[in-house]
Structure 1
Amino acid sequence: MADTRLIQGRYRLLELIGRGGMGEVWRALDESLGRRVAVKCLKPVGLPQGDAAGRVMRERFRREARVAAALQHRGVTVVHDFGEHDGVLYLVMELLEGRDLGQLLEDNKRAPLPVAEVVDIAEQVADALAYTHEQGIIHRDLKPANIMRLTDGTVKICDFGIARLGRDLEQSSQLTGLGVAMGTPHYMSPEQIGAGAIDHRSDLYSLGCVLYEIATGAPPFDLEDAWSVLVGHRDTVPEPPRTHRPELPVFFERIVLDLLAKTPGERPADAGDLRRRLGAGQGPALAYAPGPGYPHGRGAGFGHGAGEVYDSRPPLPGAAPLPSWTRGMTIGHKATGTTVLPSPPPDPASALTGGWTGPAGPHPALLADRAYGPHAAGPSAERLAVLAGRHDAGVNLSRAGRWEEAEETHRDVAAERAQTLGPDHPDTLASRYEIGVALSGTGRAAEALREFGSVTEGRERTLGPDHPDTLAARQETAYALGRLGRHFEAHDLYAAVLASHERTKGDEHPDTLRCRHHLAGNLSRLGRLEEAYGLAREVVRVRARVLGTTHPDTLATRCEVARTLGLLGRWAEALGSYREVEAARARALGPDHADTLAARYEVGICLGRLGRDAEALELYRALADDLKRVSGGADPETLRARHGVGVNLGRLARWEEALREAREVWAIRERVLGPDHPDTLVSRREVAVGLGWLGRWEDALAGYRQVAGTRERILGASHPDTLTSRGDEAHCLEQLGRTAEASELYRRVATLRGERPDPRM
């Protein structure tokens, strides 16, 4: 094939249009019939023509190709011909003008597709699967790369039987030692992972993974560690899609979660049943319901001071209890390795040679001049003492929660220390470390990540990789990664820091245990809840023995155990644990200590999760009174407790009272924190929620629009909080009968996520 671009004297290859793990796809001309076609060339078999295994593989290919060619449905790619040419197996298929779902997501910068488009894709794929399953044919490798969206809106499934054959071909050529390396585990059903019996319901599970991804921007278990992904499919209940994207219809979320049931018997009976449910669900009553809001209060929440996730509306009649996985995981990174990658135009002289492996371009080197020579005259001892005093003052500002002032102080000190001592001097790096702390305190995790990363590099050069200061900076880097939802990277970094602590300090050193504590929290955010629970309990056991049962660190890890119990859906046990921590802190620290009051707040969260809204309301009212007495009525934690009062009044349908409470908290936060502070915006949104429930939709719309506009200006158009507000705005438009505007806004959400319009919309 290197000497000609004509296959079997008939199919002339014109243009390379895709390359993936299995081989290449070419735009070609069928010269016998004068029509344009696509030719998929699988990787070389790598076995001699006379070899028995080669004969079996080639016969398998012919059998699978005949099966694919027999399928005749508008939702299935048509196979015209197949064969072998110079050791390369090929299929001739209809030429599809469009993009596969993986490419659509990439075009949109991993933002989810518009809701209407997602539902339409689901219906069309369900139609195609209903047909193929009736023929007794199971796909077994359904994923975004195997589903095409044509320019006219038609959806087609590709590679029936062929993708699985491609994996076998790759293994036979010893190009990989792992069966899953051919593609990705992100769309495998639990029974595929466990080598159980496979039937048509395995395809339904894979479809559920695909729909989850195109609806939210990430697969249900988007972890780059293959083992973790497989364990997630097997053991973990996926996070409900609407926690990522509140504007998704409730009926659609329920269907996706049913498709992702662990056992086949809990999924829809077949694709026809799925299609009927999709059609029946698209009524005005179920078309949309707003999802939970996400407050940003700094106070002691679940892990690292994260705010609680509130649902300001009563549950829908007959709805399942709140799921165990309600927070912690954000949209993960894209599952890579399956999408056909666009390739540059091929060299006409080379035909297909060299096409089986993609070119590996050189990795760009990051070069920086870091050769800072000593100063001719060093700074005076007096000047250094002044800088040290200003540094300590900045640390005290951080401890008082005055983050902006702390950041400004540390930036000034860092700049002067860099000039007088050099950028890599330990004192300079100490000031930059504190800049990162202040940035983290104000919620600017991306900037904090850059600062801690730079400090880590400098400390590794000057102090060494295992120095305590270096490890502290690396641990803060991991924490910032977690705040940004990059939990897989955070896990690797925590694990590396832990290994260094264990090697240099031993298993029971406080720094080692602190790192294990954070690693447990990150494991829960990866969905590895049982591991997180086990590790946190082990840290509690060791800390209790080494530090004592009432030591603040021991009690902090007991809170992590309780948090993980909540994520596992074991809210009653979580409630018991938090109450024990509250009692222990009250005895050791006093009932008015900030940590004791924080544990009481978590007790209230558990009561709400258990549906005990009246008890939660009573607790938050008493907590707000105590916080007001201890810290004042304008303290952020007092206002946070009062916000909980308003939320639970709403859950009890006492909306007039809830609205009054929300307005009062909003007014104080606006005065004390400023109109653009995240907590202020949360209260402004809660006011709009109350107005909506009281039927005052025009007023609610104005509030939601104000919050959305402010969040867009501060956080960016594609930030999850901004999109939540846009969903609220669209919901109001629906309630006001302005359905066209609502639909357009739903479509804009996807565009805003990608920051550029989809040309097909």
Structure 2
Amino acid sequence: MADTRLIHGRYRLLELIGRGGMGEVWAARDDSLGRRVAVKCLKPMGLQHDQASARVLRERFRREARVAAALQHRGVTVVHDFGEFEGVLYLVMELLDGRNLSQLLQDGKGHPLPVPDVLDIAEQLSSALAYTHQQGIVHRDLKPANIMRLPDGTVKILDFGIARLGADIGFTSRLTGTGIAMGTPHYMSPEQIGGAPVDHRSDLYSLGCVLYELATGAPPFDLDDAWAILVGHRDTAPEPLCARRPELPAFFEEIVLDLLAKEPGSRPQDARELVRRLAAGRGLVKGPVVPAALAPQPVRSRGLPSWARGMTTGHKATGSTPPDPAPPDPDGSLTGAWTTALPPAPPAPDRPPPPPPELLAELDDRHREGLGLGQAGRWAEAGEVHRAVAAERAQVLGPDHPDTLSSQYEVAFALSRTGREADALREFGLVAQARARTLGPDDPGALDARQETAYVLGRLGRHFEAHQVYASVLAARERVMGADHPATLRCRHNLAFNLGRLGRLEDAYRMARDVATDRARVLGAGHPDTLVSRSEVAYVLGQLGRWVEALQLYREVASARATVLGADHPDTLATRYEVGIALGRLGRSAEALELYRVLVGDRTRVDGPEDPETLRARHGLGVNLGRLARWEEALAEARDVCALRERVLGPDHPDTLVSRREIAVGLGWLGRWTQALTVYRQVADARERVLGTAHPDALASRNDEAHCLERLGRGAEAAALYRRVAALRQQSGSRGR
């Protein structure tokens, strides 16, 4: 966009005047009308990779930009035009000549603005918010950098509607380890921090934070750790303004503290009330200003967690000057980066100094390295990296710090991907408990960890317990995020999956079908999540024996994924594997065999010959060789795949054990029952060791062993083993009920 210089033959870009997390702002000339304008070029992440998502998000952009363009108030920046050019979304706005409030505060080197200016700005902002809230528009990212003051004293709010686009399109994609979107933490409302739905009262809270900073020189929770700031918003009463600046009017302090109430219902109910209170208060102020004398509000929630205790206020609150003042914000007219960098406070004599920034940066780099290893399928290596980083983060940040818990979460994830479900279950449980303790039980990160706990319970065959956890998490997500939130829909999808594993196939089918319908409505018919749910519908249809319908649906999903994601995308290739499963179940093994031969070639080309998914495709090929009674070839393929899986995934990985069982199947069909018995027992012993004696897969393996004993003429041993399996199944069923 920057090199094009001319947008649609009309807007001529002249000078870059700002750059930030949402894109760039240019001073430009509207050649059609001969006026100077500002053009904001927005670069949403990922649109070029996901065409279906891009269509949905572009439509949201047009809708939000149209709403922003309809706003007409002297306190709101005018939007003249919007559109898309060469893949970049853009907004054309009035070009403002002034300074944003963040720059004004920096100009004063941390000193507050004069009281008359603070009161004037408060009235103008309240008036602008009263108008926009009446239109049903919530800003969502009100902060000093988003508020301009012009030379004549006019105050204008920037980026109405654009903060919402940030959530929809991905400008503000940086997330914490727990999944909370890190806005500008100094100005986030408690409900934003908790991931709850927000309304106009969240803007009022942010306004309170802005006015607090204008009046005192520092935000209400100016701590040295972004997470301590967030917890301060949620749990800690702000210090009264008079303690920092005694000359402030009492009525103004009362208004600001009302705005900073933790519960939305305790704040002023609309900005019109603020306009009236400010006007009335300014009319009462005559002669010397009487200092306020308000006591601190009681804290109704628990205090700061261990990793945030002992934090001190920053230099602006104490009046001390930092060694290196931050330069003026270069992108004042932009919504800035999500996470504000805070200058380090000098260490207090009674606590250890904060960890060196270089060490934290190194740990961040190593954490990203672990994520990259996981994305490459190298889960064992990824787990080792995350384990080491988690230990170091626990030492320098504390065991309950979000970054520490983020690393522990990744350790658990790697364990679950390497077949160590029992270990993963323990780790996910610890992370869920710590996040609930420090951030609250409905924190998105705590819910994520609990949801992964349910997934691992399912992998362990404990589907009834998994169902209970999924149901609990779903209720929390619906309460906090709403029924149509993508995370809520994902939890419903998982619950449908687990219903199928409980044998409640009709319930699973109905729920999966409903989730697919809701995802199509909310996200679009071609969205990857919608296609995941349609694939689950196909799976349950197969479990119900409706393989003709399953095959048709799998083929539709495969075609849609090839169009939306590309022919070589992992999801597309995975659906082709499922098409082969359906063909085999329908007795069309020759077609399935040919499909798997082509799929093995594509997987080898895309992922390499030893990738787990390449080996899965080879496994499917071997199974269909057996179905075609080509048992010598099938046995050779199973042995080769088993050896590779053992080396790549480990001897006890579920996929390795599936291949080892396939060796036993081949040996049995070739009449080599003694050898088959040895292999079946190896599989059963491994599954009991990893999954437990009552796991369905372990019981199925013991049944295989009993069948083999029958074929060897050892009927008494076979009968005893069948009875043992039946008793374990009965006990497991009783516990499930």
RCO greater where, 1 or 2, for CA within 8 Å and sep 6 or more? 1
TM-score in terms of structure 1 length:
0.47
TM-score in terms of structure 2 length:
0.48
